């Protein structure tokens, strides 16, 4: 978001609301990954019916196709791993570790206040708040 002068006028949501939004975003990404997986399964079925059926195919074509499936699955598993890490973070925050949660929000507010003071009158573009790395 680009604003002039102040970093943001949007208040920081309560912790339970932030956790709820995080879990909703994880569910949304899981739905998107599910659609991608169904599409890839359709490509695999089509390849098997077309290339492995009556017309046959060369070993090179099968190896090339297998390599593309492996690349897709590798990317898919990495995305799933990232979602698992997000879910793990949400669960840790939800388990009542108030010291960590309040510390993150305090650090976010301090950084926002510091940047507000440094950049009054300038355009400032904010990145999202990452629970592990900060701004």
pLDDT digits (tens, 9 = 90+) for 82-105: 999 999 988 888 886 555 555 656
Contacts 24+ apart (CB under 8 A), 115-122: 115/7, 116/6, 116/7, 119/7, 120/5, 121/4, 121/5, 122/4, 122/5
Q: Higher confidence at residue 98 or residue 109?
A: 109
Give the pLDDT confidence score for residue 56 in this predicted structure: 77
Report the SS3 class of residue 73: helix
**CA distance linking residue 130 with residue 133, whole number of Å:** 5
Q: What's the chain's Rg over C-alpha atoms?
A: 23
Give the pLDDT confidence score for residue 36 in this predicted structure: 96
Mean pLDDT of 18-23: 89
**β partners of residue 123:** 4
Give the pLDDT confidence score for residue 134 in this predicted structure: 46
- With a cut of 50, say whether residue 14 has pLDDT above it: yes
pLDDT tier at 122, thresholds 50, 70, 90: very low
**pLDDT one-digit tens code per residue, 28-79:** 999 999 999 999 999 999 998 888 776 778 888 999 999 999 999 999 999 9
- Rounded to the nearest integer, the mean pLDDT of the chain is 77
Single pTM value for the model: 0.59
């Amino acid at each position: 978001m680009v604003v002039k002068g102040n970093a943001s006028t949007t208040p920081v949501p309560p912790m339970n609301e932030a956790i709820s939004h995080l879990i909703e975003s994880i569910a949304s990404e899981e739905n998107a990954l599910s659609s991608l997986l169904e599409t890839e399964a359709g490509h695999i079925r089509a390849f098997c019916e077309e290339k492995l059926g009556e017309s046959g195919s060369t070993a090179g074509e099968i190896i090339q196709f297998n390599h593309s499936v492996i690349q897709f699955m590798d990317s898919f598993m990495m995305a799933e791993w990232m979602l698992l890490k997000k879910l793990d973070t949400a669960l840790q925050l939800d388990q009542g570790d108030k010291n960590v949660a309040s510390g993150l929000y305090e650090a976010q507010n301090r950084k926002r206040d510091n940047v507000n003071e440094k950049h009054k009158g300038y355009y400032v573009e904010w990145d999202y708040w990452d629970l592990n790395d900060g701004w």
